Chain A
Amino acid sequence: GENVEQHPSTLSVQEGDSAVIKCTYSDSASNYFPWYKQELGKGPQLIIDIRSNVGEKKDQRIAVTLNKTAKHFSLHITETQPEDSAVYFCAASSQTDSWGKLQFGAGTQVVVTP
């Protein structure tokens, strides 16, 4: 099955700086890579996703890049704001599972300090 590793586990940034979270996956057949944001006391919420036929996707201050050869993908947050403080999870879907379930990373706690 799929195995997803996520780094770093915690990330502190100054407001206005950029934050980068990196994930690697093991199954070369995976083709869908979402990112979820979880705020305190809430469930995870999808913020951006990318499919394997695309190398980069951007939505305002958030961007995701995918390197299929190296089997890693990254989340980039620019001009960070205090409301970006949350736990971020990457995930990948493995096509070797008949159902194709999502495998999540362990999460990155992002703290944006004013």
Chain B
Amino acid sequence: ETGVTQTPRHLVMGMTNKKSLKCEQHLGHNAMYWYKQSAKKPLELMFVYSLEERVENNSVPSRFSPECPNSSHLFLHLHTLQPEDSALYLCASSPVAGTEDEQYFGPGTRLTVT
């Protein structure tokens, strides 16, 4: 499998549930990102990892907890979410953590919080 993959593609969860989103990149990149995409709004950068070290935490609530066990895998652990957290969550990777490298996006996980 090539590129950036995300699982699951769709997730419905209650506000008291705990779930995790998974991202895997097969490109040999050293940087990975989580973005939140809401309708009619710009992509919001949530977290950035470079060589498994978090380099950016963009004022994201603690109910979102990222984990990067190695440079190929990235997780987003979710707990006690709110309905306004419903959105498309996109994972991306790039060769290094820097803005002038193309970011390769996965297809996203469509999250609905009920």
Q: Which residues of A contact B (CB under 8 A)?
A: 4, 9, 32, 34, 36, 41-46, 49, 51, 89, 93, 99-107
Q: In the bound complex, how far is the Cα of B99 from the Cα of A24, in angstroms?
A: 18
Residue of A nearest to B90 (CB): A43
Once A43-B90, A45-B105 are accepted as A-B contacts, the answer to whether A99 and B56 lie under 8 Å apart by CB is: yes
14 A-B interface contacts by CB (under 8 A): A32-B99, A34-B102, A43-B4, A43-B106, A43-B107, A43-B108, A46-B102, A99-B55, A99-B56, A100-B99, A102-B45, A104-B42, A106-B41, A106-B42
7 closest cross-chain pairs (CB), A and B: A43-B105, A93-B99, A104-B42, A104-B43, A46-B102, A100-B99, A32-B100
- Judging by beta carbons under 8 Å apart, are A89 and B43 in contact? yes
Q: How many residues of B contact A (CB 8 A)?
A: 22
Query: B35 CB to closest chain A CB, in angstroms?
Result: 9
Which A residues lie within 8 Å of B100 (CB)? 32, 51, 93
Residue of A nearest to B45 (CB): A101
